[in-house]
């Protein structure tokens, strides 16, 4: 197979990058509350968020708010060949953009709210998820929606499965504490702006004992 010359490959990568940023900014101007950020997440944040995922045993990974796919391709690159990535976004333009950009049979992109994750998982032929990653701006969601998403997320995670959330405000800790038994919080400074990263783990034994 003929390989793409290095200079041409760089031009293709650069035009993909510009297309992603252009699309992201356009959607932010149209729906600032739904998008919650002017630019996509940094590569450092993507790496830090995905560092502790148990890829070997993950068969269903769910991504809330993939946007232009900042995390999506890296998740696919690390995922097992038999695993499925279910990406849920409320913005139809992002759904169409992702479907046009990424051609991978393991990726299912659905249009809708993360609050309906249970139905989307069932429609994908699964019962529970191993990991769920969220890029949703929780602090700008309508009243009650963040609580509903966290409750549904916990109910569809397998025992010891984790909800991975990146957010710019500390508001998320309260939402997660109401549902999850174990929460770790860190900060990724190499992102604009610096970002809080939460790992909320479902510990079923502790919940039953309480
Ligand atoms: C800050 S952007 C994150 C995009 C990308 N993951 C990143 O990190 O660069 C937030 C995304 O969440 C989506 N979103 C907002 N509310 C949502 C909801 N209730 N369910 C699913 N997606 C939602 C928006 O459409 C947008 O794609």
Contact between residue 180 and residue 202 where contact means Cβ atoms under 8 Å apart: yes
Give me the sign of the Cα torsion angle 37, 188, 171, 205: positive
pLDDT tens digits for range 61-96: 999 999 999 999 999 999 999 999 999 999 999 999
The mean per-residue pLDDT over the stretch 187-195 comes to 94
CA distance 140 to 25: 18
User: What's the 64 CA to ligand 1 centre distance in angstroms?
Assistant: 6
The residue whose CA has the least distance to atom 11 of ligand 1 is 65
Atom of ligand 1 nearest to the CA of 114: 20
User: What's the 137 CA to ligand 1 centre distance in angstroms?
Assistant: 7
**Run of H or E residues at 93:** helix 92-101
User: What's the 135 CA to ligand 1 centre distance in angstroms?
Assistant: 5
CA angle (84 as vertex; 111, 41 as ends), nearest 5: 65
Examine the pLDDT at 8 and tell me if it is beyond 70.
no
- pLDDT higher at 25 or 53: 53
Examine the pLDDT at 182 and tell me if it is beyond 90.
yes
The mean per-residue pLDDT over the stretch 178-199 comes to 95
The whole-chain average pLDDT of the chain stands at 89
What are the strands of the beta sheet with 107-111, ordered from one edge? 107-111, 84-89, 60-64, 129-134, 157-167, 195-201, 182-188
Q: Which residues line ligand 1 (CB under 6 A)?
A: 34-37, 40-41, 64-67, 70-71, 88-91, 94, 113-114, 135-137
The mean per-residue pLDDT over the stretch 97-125 comes to 97
Q: Which residues pair with 64 in a beta bridge?
A: 88, 134
Atom of ligand 1 nearest to the CA of 36: 1
The tokens describing 163, both together, are: 């909800």
- pLDDT higher at 140 or 58: 58
The tokens describing 97, both together, are: 């953009």
Q: What percent of the chain has pLDDT over 90?
A: 74
> What are the domain boundaries of the chain?
6-209
Beta-carbon count within 10 A of 134 CB: 24
pLDDT tens digits for range 26-75: 777 788 777 777 788 999 999 999 999 999 999 999 999 999 999 999 99
Q: Does the structural domain 6-209 have CATH classification 3.40.50.300? A: no
Q: Tell me, what's the pLDDT at 22? A: 78
């Amino acid at each position: 197979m003929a390989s793409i010359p290095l200079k041409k490959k760089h031009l293709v990568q650069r035009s993909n990058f510009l297309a992603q940023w252009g699309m992201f900014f356009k959607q932010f101007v149209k729906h600032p509350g739904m998008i919650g950020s002017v630019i996509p997440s940094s590569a450092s944040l993507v790496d830090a968020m995905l560092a502790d995922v148990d890829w070997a045993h993950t068969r269903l990974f769910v991504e809330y708010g993939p946007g232009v796919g900042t995390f999506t391709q890296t998740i696919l690159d690390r995922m097992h060949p038999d695993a499925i990535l279910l990406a849920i976004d409320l913005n139809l333009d992002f759904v169409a953009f992702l479907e046009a950009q990424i051609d991978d049979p393991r990726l299912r992109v659905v249009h809708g709210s993360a609050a309906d994750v249970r139905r989307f998982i069932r429609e994908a032929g699964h019962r529970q998820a191993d990991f769920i990653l969220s890029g949703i701006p929780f602090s700008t969601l309508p009243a009650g929606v963040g609580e509903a998403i966290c409750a549904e997320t916990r109910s569809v995670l397998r025992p010891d499965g984790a909800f991975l959330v990146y957010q710019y405000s500390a508001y998320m800790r309260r939402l997660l504490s109401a549902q999850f038994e174990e929460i770790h919080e860190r900060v990724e400074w190499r992102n604009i702006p610096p970002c809080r990263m939460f790992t909320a783990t479902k510990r079923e034994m502790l919940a039953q004992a309480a």
